[in-house]
Amino acid sequence: MATNPSVMTREAGTSAPTTRPARRRPSLSHLAIGLAALLAFVFNYLALQNRDATTLVAIADRPIPEGAPFTPALARLVPLPADFEGIDHVIIEEDIAGFDGWIVGRSVAEGELIDRSIIIQPGAGDGLRTMSIPVAVEHAAGATLVVGDRVDVISIVGDQPAFVALDLEVVAIAERAQGGLSGVGPYFVVVAVTSDDALAVARAINDDSIDVVRSTGAGALHAGGD
């Protein structure tokens, strides 16, 4: 008796059986990319929520020469961390308008933070002028002068030291070092002067022969005497 090969039959209207593809597990690289994207989102969110962590401070938008009147147009504002060590020494956004018209006590390089100590209020009161004296530390009481001190100025006149200006009030001290925030180096002593004092001191500066001596509490002298 002949045998027929076995065949698979299916009922009418049914589809052929299919095989489901195996589910792939995410690779480590995919997990790393997802984690990086999540962290970036979190950090951006926190940055937007924590704007108080930075403070806008003034830097020179262009070189500012010594003696120039300060205006907000000379500066631009950049963010710094609010806990920046020198934040109390620089001009911040809230204060910049209040310094309009003040005098820049030393030159400021483009991009340099603008230190409050170099911005001097114009005029010295009592009809006096203000004048900056560039002087090395070793010729200025070892950089121990402070605002309110009285100083005398000594210069070499005819090969002999002489007092050329007496009892000048110190109205500001401006460090010459870049940034003006740290370190002690040559600096400007800003003093209140009469017109005659200004001419005498200018002559001494021009001769590159100058010493600034603290005279607070000292007895009276006469310019040109001993």
How far apart (Å, rounded) are the C-alpha atoms in residues 184 and 207? Answer: 24
- Residue by residue, DSSP assigns 86-125 as TGGGB-BTTTGGGGTT-EESS-B-TT-B-BGGGEE-S--S
Share of the chain above pLDDT 70, in %: 63
Question: Across all residues in the chain, what is the average pLDDT?
Answer: 75
**So where are the chain's domains?**
52-117, 123-214
Q: Tokens representing 88?
A: 């109390």
Fold classification of 52-117 is Type Iii Antifreeze Protein Isoform Hplc 12 (3.90.1210)
Span 169-216, pLDDT tens digits: 888 776 554 444 334 445 788 888 888 998 999 998 888 888 999 988
Per-state percent for the chain, helix, strand, coil, to nearest 5? 25, 30, 45
Residue 200 backbone phi and psi in degrees, to 5: -65, -45
This prediction's pTM? 0.48
Span 100-134, pLDDT tens digits: 888 887 788 899 999 888 887 766 666 677 888 88
